[in-house]
Structure 1
Amino acid sequence: MLESYVTYSVLPASDLQRAVEWYRDKLELEPERTTEGGVLYGTGSEAKIYVYETGNAGTAQNTAMCWLTPDIEATMAHLRERGVVFADYDFPGLHTENGIATDDMGRSAWFQDSEGNYLCLTQPA
């Protein structure tokens, strides 16, 4: 049943205005809709991101959301020009080169938003 439904990501922000500015300035996303509690962004087809204000922002140490990209290097270069900083990892099971990890699923790169959420780019294999 759920395999045919559209999903959306929900991301916390400790400072919603700062997050809105970061998503605009770094990721070039404009709010699709503003609600009392947060901001909704469209990201392709029917995918959405809802950013809401809460004191719990930045506490998760896991990937919160990924974008699928056909060309990870080009996407990273564009975001780096806008000030996005990609993480480098070197521990068992995860090693990056120039910010990119490669495994049998594809190639991925991680960065944090202004609120400490871990976001990801993935170029599927």
Structure 2
Amino acid sequence: MLTQSRMVTILPVVDLERARKFYEEKLGLEAGETQADGSVVFRGTEGEFALSPRPEPAHNPYTAMGFEVEDVAREVKDLERRGVAFEDYDTPELKTVGHIAVLGAEKAAWFKDPDGNILCVHENASRARH
């Protein structure tokens, strides 16, 4: 059953070493093993993702992966100190203030990796961790 399967995100990247450096140095994540197809796996406490080499960027205009955090404002400041540039939006559907959008019980901020994959840090007050 899929409901009992481990889910893995796969992000396409053109320059694997550049992407790996971004995820390790800017986001503070630790790369794991390299797969037979050249993909590099990153594991976290509650999930994993892989950077998968591709000849061309994906050009996906939507969020490819999100990180649920306890305090999105603190995370934004920390990532900015590491050199991560956040996206700002001002549309009828989405407006950010200080890089953060408030969406009901959720707060979120978006940034891109070197290949243009859109990533998100978000907190959800209805699922607050204790």
Band of TM-score, shorter chain: over 0.9
Where do 1:15-54 residues align within 5 Å? 15-36=15-36, 37-45=38-46, 47-54=47-54
Letter of the 1:92 partner, please give it.
Answer: P
RMSD of aligned residue pairs (Cα, Å): 1.3
CA displacement 1:69-115 (0-9 Å, x = unmatched): 11001111111110001110000110000100111240000000111
SS in 1 for 2:19: helix
Q: Quick check: which one's strand share is greater?
A: 1
SS in 2 for 1:95: coil
Letter of the 1:42 partner, please give it.
Answer: R
Letter of the 1:79 partner, please give it.
Answer: L
Deviation at 1:58, TM superposition (A): 4.3
CA displacement 1:19-49 (0-9 Å, x = unmatched): 111111101112111123210000223x001
SS in 1 for 2:49: strand
Deviation at 1:6, TM superposition (A): 2.4
Q: After the TM superposition, which parts of structure 1 deviate over 6 Å for at least 4 consecutive aligned residues?
A: none
State percent identity of aligned pairs.
34
Deviation at 1:124, TM superposition (A): 0.6
SS in 2 for 1:9: strand
Gap regions ≥5 residues in structure 1? none
Alpha-carbon distance in 2 for matches of 1:76, 1:55: 31
Where do 1:26-105 residues align within 5 Å? 26-36=26-36, 37-45=38-46, 47-105=47-105
Q: How many residues align?
A: 124
